[in-house]
Structure 1
Amino acid sequence: MTVSERIASLRALMAEKSISAYVVPTADFHQSEYVGEHFKARQYITGFSGSYGTAVICQDDACLWTDGRYFFQAEQELAGTGVRLMKMFVGDTPTITEYLSDVVPSGGTVAFDGRVLSMGEGQEYEVALGSKGIQIHYSEDLINAIWQDRPALSDKPAFFLEERYTGASIASKLERVRKAMAEYGATVHAIASLDDICWLLNVRGDDIDYFPLLLSYAIVRMDGVELYVNEKKLNDRILNEFKKAKVTLHPYNDIYQDIQKLDASETLLIDPMKMNYALYKNISCNIVEAANPTILMKAMKNDTELDNIKAAHIKDGVAVTKFMYWVKNHYDKEVITELSSIDKLTALRAAQDGYIRDSFEPLCAYKDHAAMMHYSPCEESDVPLKGGAFFLNDTGGGYYEGSTDITRTFVLGSVDRQMKKYFTAVVRAMMNLSRAKFLYGCYGYNLDVLAREPIWDLDLDYQCGTGHGVGYLANVHEPPTGFRWYVVPSKNEHHQLEEGMVITDEPGIYEDGQFGIRIENELIVRKGVKNKYGQFMHFETITFAPIDLDGIDPEEMSRSEREWLNRYHQEVYEKIGPHLTEEERQWLKQYTRAI
């Protein structure tokens, strides 16, 4: 069926059930950033394939909300479908609840599958729509009823992550979680977020795009764990480890019935930002709401994890450096496009030992495409690389030793002095933050100005955060901290910087219709001197790949900034050079020269 035909089928079913509006988010049952094929309901009903957006289908209207990363792609993919693009955060575009409150009459019904809506979103709908006399039905999976060839839930095998990678046993992690539960006065803890469960039980899977996670729910008790998962995915090693940790297995979807059966005397700890609305509505016992204890625990990497992550970055730096060499030496000799460059970089990463998959959707953007900040090429938008422009690459690899996230912007040919001025400002912004020294207790928003200052000095800004936490072979965007100058509650980044956290540092400049520049390294939060003034902290840079000197104007940099860049490039040459061919190494020597 075409998109128009699918919408017609959905509307017929809505009419049968007296549903005024049907909401289709981009989500699985766990609010994952990327989802598996089974969960791409919004793409099925609208034709839009971006990773973020929500569709609302009414009898006489159909709309898709997405943000500026995807305006171009959405306009292309929605053409001829009858679905209107609603540009989030632009002009007077209404929010979804504002739209529903306006178009659904009092007494009407808004429906959705509550398993793919977060607890917070569901509660927001209750307040906004309930005040208008609009009913909510949260157990309607209408897409499943019309999607005749819907892919089944993933049955791909899981794998156990050895302690040489995790640095901690399942038992030790459970002990820490149970201690936190007791501090909250909870006797039971329900976990619905996949990265938290996989970290806690030292398993990984292959159930969603990019992030190596396992579809599952967990109920942690003081004397055991109830794990809701497809048991066929688990090998003997996993089963043996689970037996030792007193993990009992149940069918994946039984969580909804079992959570209803919790004794009224139990007190259940839940994270309102990490649970779906349907699961929340099935709880009848006492509730304590707080962040999952595992969030902070997994963000503060142990020494084993940090050593592994640093090793992963050397491997990744080799792949990215080889990629930079290839692009800069071949873009004018053969046809290289945005999409073909992604294939090349993925192949270079795959050649590294321990590579599993890319850690997120590659963002390779040439010239004006890079101005869209989080543009990812598709067949319709793909373009060849040419001279006289910037080529931005924001990519990462997932290795047994950890996940990486790196951005480099390459200069193809030559660019004018103004573009070099902007490029140099971005490099200065990145290094200003990376060499910060600060007192323990600082948050990311205390330090964000260090990165923005060189860009604000130009009366420019980038309308996103400066950095985010990075998970260990899990979600590449990991709470609970990050760098931004204002607090966004939904980002769950409101926590002070702790030793062992791994965070990106990625300022940029984006000029609509012209170019985009971003330079990104990853940092480890480290302790420094402790004295009468308190505990001083600093960052350790762990990303190693050349910063394109063809874009640098040394006159725009202070002596200390040039010295930092020269030291950094010396480290790049020492760490990456031995893994290259002789020709590549001679090229790297030139691109890490002192300025």
Structure 2
Amino acid sequence: MNVSERISRLRALMAEKKIDAYVVPTADFHQSEYVGEHFKARKFITGFSGSYGTAVITMDDAGLWTDGRYFFQATNQLKGSGVRLMKMFVGDTPTVTEYLADVIPENGTVAFDGRVLSMEEGQEYEEALAPKHIRLSYSEDLIGLVWEDRPPLSDKPAFFLEEKYSGESAASKLSRVRDVMKENKATVHAIASLDDVCWLLNLRGDDIDFFPLLLSYAIVRMDGVDLYVDDRKLDAHIHEELAKVNVSIHPYNDIYRDIKSLDASETILIDPMKMNYALFKNISCSIVTASNPTILMKAMKNPVELENIKAAHIKDGVAVTKFMHWVKTRYDKEPITELSSAAKLTEFRSEQEGYIRDSFEPLCAYADHAAMMHYSPCEETDVELKEGALFLNDTGGGYYEGSTDITRTFVLGSVDGQMKKYFTAVVRAMMNLSRAKFLYGCYGYNLDVLARGPIWDLDLDFQCGTGHGVGYLANVHEPPTGFRWYVVPSKNEHHKLE
């Protein structure tokens, strides 16, 4: 089936179930930014493969909301699909909730799989759609009914991250989390975000391409932890380590039943942006909301992690220097394409001791493709490197000593004056930010103008953040650290000092 045929089948199910609009977010059951193959429902129903976006299908319209990183890519991938590109944060483009509130009739129904929508988003839908008495149906996985050859959930093995890499035991981390629970007068804490569960218990997995994370949930109690995971992924060593901190293993999907059966006397701490809507709706005990304590804890790297990360960057620098030499000395002597160059860079990284995998899909973009933020080459778009253009490399390596995420732009041969001007503006921007001195209490959005200034001076802008935190063998985009000129609450950016 092509995209239009898939949408037709989806609309037939919607008509059968009297659904006026069906919402398909990007996330998995854990609000992950990047997801495994099983969860790429939005890509399946629209054809758009970017890492960020939400599709809304009505009986006579279809829209794909995404941000400036993906405008070029989405325009190309949506051609002929019948899906409109809705450019977020541009002009008078309505938000998803504004659109739904406008087009759905009184007493209509909006449906989605509540496991892939965050609690906070679900509550926004409730508030926005209540004036028209629009019903939310959050137990409808209609994509699963259309997607006949849907890939299964990953069953790849997990591994334990030893303390010589993590720098802190799970026991110590749990103690710190329980202190925050006490401050919030919570008796239990549910964690649904993969990087937070993995960081807390020093676990890593292979359930999402490039991201060494493990599909799992955790309920932290004062005397133990309930871990919800496919037990087949855990070896004897992991079981031994988890037993030391009183972790009980439960089937992955039992989290919904168990959170529903929590005693009414319990008080549960949850993060509205890091828990799915369906899981939230299953809670019947008292709730206190706050950011997951682990978000700031894992963002503040300990001394062991800091030394390891330096070692990882030295290894990565060796690999990238070899790659730079390889490209510069061979591109005009033998055929090198975006895809073959990405494979060569991965080869150089894999030669380094402690290499696990690339930390995200390599973004190797030549000439016009370099203007498409987050462009990743494929067989259909792959082009050969030639003289007279820029070659962008946004790539990273995952090592036991940590993860890297670096962007380098190579000039191939002679380029025109415009390219030189823009290249130089970016150099000035990076120099400005890297040399900045700032007072305690500054945020990324206080400092972003230092980098963006030379670009704004040219009456130009770039439709993305300037920089972000990087997880230690986890999500390569790690909040709350970030440089951008506006606040993005969905990235857990903080408005006050913690």
Q: TM-score, normalised by structure 1?
A: 0.80
Change (3 A) 1:496 1:417: farther
Change (3 A) 1:497 1:433: farther
Q: Tell whether the 8 Å contact from 2:68 to 2:464 is kept in structure 1 after alignment.
A: no
Alpha-carbon offset, residue 495 of structure 1: 6.4
Q: Percent sequence identity over matched residues?
A: 82
Matches within 5 A, 1:48-447: 48-447=48-447
Q: Tell whether the 8 Å contact from 1:440 to 1:497 is kept in structure 2 after alignment.
A: no
Q: Deviations over 1:93-129 (max 9, x none)?
A: 3322222223221111110000000111111111111
Alpha-carbon offset, residue 432 of structure 1: 2.3
Change (3 A) 1:440 1:67: closer
The alignment yields a C-alpha RMSD, in angstroms, of 1.8
Q: Is residue 2:17 matched to residue 1:28?
A: no
AA aligned to 2:316 is D
Structure 1: distance between partners of 2:395 and 2:433: 21
Structure 2: distance between partners of 1:363 and 1:496: 34
Change (3 A) 1:495 1:345: farther
Partner of 1:508: none
AA aligned to 1:306 is L
- Report SS of the residue matched to 2:213: coil
Change (3 A) 1:441 1:93: closer
Q: Deviations over 1:131-174 (max 9, x none)?
A: 12211101111111232222111110000000110011111111
Show structure 1 runs of 4+ deviating over 4 A: 495-498
Alpha-carbon offset, residue 88 of structure 1: 2.7
AA aligned to 2:112 is F
Extract unaligned runs of 5+ from structure 2.
Answer: none
Structure 1: distance between partners of 2:496 and 2:5: 50
- Report SS of the residue matched to 2:325: helix
Alpha-carbon offset, residue 11 of structure 1: 1.9
Alpha-carbon offset, residue 18 of structure 1: 1.0
- Report SS of the residue matched to 1:438: coil
Matches within 5 A, 1:498-537: none
Q: Tell whether the 8 Å contact from 2:386 to 2:412 is kept in structure 1 after alignment.
A: yes
AA aligned to 1:481 is T
Q: Tell whether the 8 Å contact from 2:224 to 2:247 is kept in structure 1 after alignment.
A: yes
Change (3 A) 1:130 1:85: same
Q: Tell whether the 8 Å contact from 2:69 to 2:463 is kept in structure 1 after alignment.
A: no
Alpha-carbon offset, residue 459 of structure 1: 4.1
Alpha-carbon offset, residue 497 of structure 1: 9.0
Alpha-carbon offset, residue 238 of structure 1: 0.5
Structure 2: distance between partners of 1:93 and 1:453: 26
Alpha-carbon offset, residue 187 of structure 1: 0.9
Alpha-carbon offset, residue 461 of structure 1: 3.3
Extract unaligned runs of 5+ from structure 1.
Answer: 499-595
- Report SS of the residue matched to 1:323: helix
AA aligned to 2:420 is K
Change (3 A) 1:46 1:442: closer
AA aligned to 2:160 is F
Partner of 1:520: none
Change (3 A) 1:17 1:448: same
- Report SS of the residue matched to 1:85: strand
AA aligned to 1:37 is E
Q: Deviations over 1:411-461 (max 9, x none)?
A: 110124453343233223212222223332222223223323333444443
Q: Tell whether the 8 Å contact from 1:205 to 1:213 is kept in structure 2 after alignment.
A: yes
Q: Tell whether the 8 Å contact from 1:224 to 1:247 is kept in structure 2 after alignment.
A: yes
Structure 1: distance between partners of 2:120 and 2:243: 35
- Report SS of the residue matched to 1:439: coil
Partner of 1:16: 16
- Report SS of the residue matched to 2:438: strand
AA aligned to 1:125 is Y
AA aligned to 2:62 is A
AA aligned to 1:402 is G
AA aligned to 1:67 is D
Structure 2: distance between partners of 1:38 and 1:167: 33
Q: Tell whether the 8 Å contact from 1:359 to 1:397 is kept in structure 2 after alignment.
A: yes
Change (3 A) 1:321 1:273: same
Q: Tell whether the 8 Å contact from 2:70 to 2:373 is kept in structure 1 after alignment.
A: no
- Report SS of the residue matched to 1:218: strand
AA aligned to 2:337 is T
AA aligned to 2:75 is E
Alpha-carbon offset, residue 74 of structure 1: 2.8
Alpha-carbon offset, residue 306 of structure 1: 0.8
Structure 2: distance between partners of 1:148 and 1:280: 29
Alpha-carbon offset, residue 92 of structure 1: 3.4
AA aligned to 1:264 is A
Structure 2: distance between partners of 1:497 and 1:436: 20
Partner of 1:563: none
Structure 1: distance between partners of 2:257 and 2:215: 17
Partner of 2:467: 467
Structure 2: distance between partners of 1:158 and 1:253: 18
AA aligned to 2:156 is K
Q: Deviations over 1:535-585 (max 9, x none)?
A: xxxxxxxxxxxxxxxxxxxxxxxxxxxxxxxxxxxxxxxxxxxxxxxxxxx
AA aligned to 1:104 is I
Change (3 A) 1:492 1:34: same
Structure 2: distance between partners of 1:373 and 1:74: 11
Alpha-carbon offset, residue 6 of structure 1: 2.3
Change (3 A) 1:460 1:68: closer
AA aligned to 1:49 is S
> In terms of Rg, which structure is larger?
1
AA aligned to 2:375 is Y
- Report SS of the residue matched to 1:437: coil
AA aligned to 1:50 is G
AA aligned to 2:445 is Y
Structure 1: distance between partners of 2:5 and 2:460: 46
- Report SS of the residue matched to 2:481: strand
Q: Tell whether the 8 Å contact from 2:312 to 2:403 is kept in structure 1 after alignment.
A: yes
Structure 1: distance between partners of 2:223 and 2:317: 44
Which moved further from structure 2: 175-184 or 410-419?
Answer: 410-419
- Report SS of the residue matched to 1:345: helix
Structure 2: distance between partners of 1:201 and 1:32: 18
Structure 1: distance between partners of 2:48 and 2:450: 38
- Report SS of the residue matched to 2:76: helix
Change (3 A) 1:383 1:91: farther
Q: TM-score, normalised by structure 2?
A: 0.96
Alpha-carbon offset, residue 349 of structure 1: 1.2
